[in-house]
Amino acid sequence: MSAAVAEKVILGKTLSIDADGNLANLSDWNEEIAAELAKEEGIEVLNEKHWQVINYMRKVYTDTGDAPSIRKLTKESGVDTKELYALFPKGPAKKAARIAGLPKPKGCI
């Protein structure tokens, strides 16, 4: 959960958005919304591998309260670094977190 600073309409629903443009409420997320968020990131179709990463991220977030870094992703999600970047170009951890309805990973300070 992060502080809502704006609202956004996705699939006819008005959702709260945080300062990074990510969903502010975990509970607003579902698979259809994920598909829409993916399109905003330039990913037209979410395939099985995408879902493997997204589901893993949501699990880590539920367990630890923070979205995983790229390092943790490649170590534990079963998808290697190269493939992660192919799935979510430029910033896998950041992009996958956004599509998974989570706040931006805290990694970068």
Q: Residues with catalytic annotation?
A: 108
DSSP SS3 for 101:
coil
Residue 50: partners with Cβ closer than 8 Å, 6 or more residues away: 38, 43, 87, 88, 96, 99
Residue with tokens 């589901």: 55
Q: Is 82 in the site for other proteins (CB under 8 A)?
A: yes
Q: Is 90 in the site for other proteins (CB under 8 A)?
A: yes
User: Which of the stretches 6-14, 33-41, 46-54, 66-74 binds other proteins when contact is defined by CB under 8 A?
Assistant: 66-74
What does the alpha-carbon distance between residue 99 and residue 35 come to, in Å, rounded to a whole number? 8
What does the alpha-carbon distance between residue 82 and residue 79 come to, in Å, rounded to a whole number? 8
Mask for 24-63, x = binds other proteins (CB under 8 A): ----------------------------------------
Other C-beta atoms lying within 10 Å of the C-beta of residue 39: 13
Residue closer to other proteins, measured from CB, 16 or 28: 16
- Name the minimum Å distance from CB 21 to other proteins: 11
Question: By the criterion CB under 8 A, which residues form the site for other proteins?
Answer: 69-72, 75, 81-82, 84-86, 89-91, 106-109
